[in-house]
């Protein structure tokens, strides 16, 4: 399978690079742009970014392996991130995580990101999402949800088509 970045995305990326006096600075923004488009960062994407920014692939790869938001494997169409840290834990985030896992047929005790067999949903615990006042909080792709009861969780799942 060949790796092609669509022309409009490449134009967007070229514009992003102009934001920085040193091209390398654009690495994270490019990784975000490609992950949003392809769903994950493949080796081809890493090499593509490196070439674009005049870097060695390792300079990009070391970012993918360090920053928790980047993933090297595809995830579900909808990625559910439940906050694990203290205020949300006090507010019931472990029960919420378990609720999602049980509902979607995933293992509530497994470590890291898990994806349903049909590739529709991924569920993972993440660290503090900065919404501690309305615990428990979560994200479903780009959407941030606060005070998520189990009923609200079902509603969120229901809206994912």
Partner 1 sequence: MKLSGLRGRGGAGFSCGLKWSFVDRRSGKPIYLICNADESEPGTFKDRQIIHKDPHQLIEGMIISCFANDVKLAYIYIRGEMPKGAKLLNAALKEARAKNFLGKNILGSGYDLEIHVHRGAGAYICGEETGLIESLEGKRPYPRIKPPYFPAVLGLYMCPTIVNNVETLCNVKHIVTMGGAEFAKLGTPNNTGTRIVSLSGQVKRPGYYEIEVGKATIGQLINDPAFGGGLLEGRKLKAVIPGGSSSKVLKAGEKFKLKRKVEGKDVEVETDMLDLPYDFDSLLQAGTMSGSSAIIVLDDTVDVVDVLANLSEFYAHESCGQCTPCREGSLWMSKTLHRLTHGEGRKGDADYLVKIADNIPGGKTICAFGEACSWPVQSFVAKFKDDFVAKGTADEEARPP
Placement of tokens 């970045």 in the chain = 5
Residue whose C-alpha is closest to residue 70's, from 113, 101, 108: 113
Local structure of 84: helix, strand or coil:
coil
Q: Which is nearer to partner 1, 105 or 133 (CB)?
A: 133
Q: Which of 132, 150, 152, 157 is the binder for partner 1 (CB under 8 A)? A: 132
Give the residue with the Cβ less far from partner 1, 5 or 53: 53
Rounded Cα distance between 101 and 145, Å, is: 17
Site string for partner 1, 9-28 (x = CB under 8 A): ----------xxxx-xxxxx
Query: Toward partner 1, which CB reaches closer, 98 or 103?
Result: 98
Which residues have CB under 8 Å from 68's CB, separation 6+? 126, 127
From 6-14, 62-70, 95-103, 110-118, span contacting partner 1 (CB under 8 A):
62-70
Compare residues 118 and 127 and give the one whose CB is closer to partner 1.
127
67 contacts partner 1 (rule: CB under 8 A): yes
How would you classify the pairing of strands 138-140 and 78-83?
antiparallel
CA 21 – CA 24 distance, rounded (Å): 9
Tokens of 75: 């995830």
Binding stretches for partner 1 (CB under 8 A): 19-22, 24-29, 31-32, 53, 59, 62-63, 66-70, 81, 84-87, 89-90, 126-135, 139, 142-144
């Amino acid at each position: 399978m060949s790796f092609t970045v669509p022309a409009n995305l490449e134009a967007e990326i070229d514009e992003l690079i102009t934001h920085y006096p040193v091209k390398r600075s654009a690495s994270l923004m490019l990784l975000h742009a490609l992950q949003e488009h392809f769903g994950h960062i493949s080796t081809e994407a890493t090499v593509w970014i490196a070439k674009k920014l005049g870097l060695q692939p390792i300079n990009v790869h070391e970012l993918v392996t360090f920053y928790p938001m980047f993933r090297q494997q595809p995830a579900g169409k909808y990625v559910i991130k439940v906050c694990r840290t203290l205020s949300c834990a006090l507010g019931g985030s472990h029960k919420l995580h378990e609720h999602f896992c049980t509902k979607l047929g995933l293992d509530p005790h497994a470590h890291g990101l898990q994806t349903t067999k049909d590739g529709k949903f991924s569920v993972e615990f993440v660290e503090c999402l900065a919404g501690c006042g309305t615990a428990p909080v979560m994200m479903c792709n780009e959407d941030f949800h606060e005070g998520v009861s189990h009923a609200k969780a079902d509603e969120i799942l229901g809206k994912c088509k």
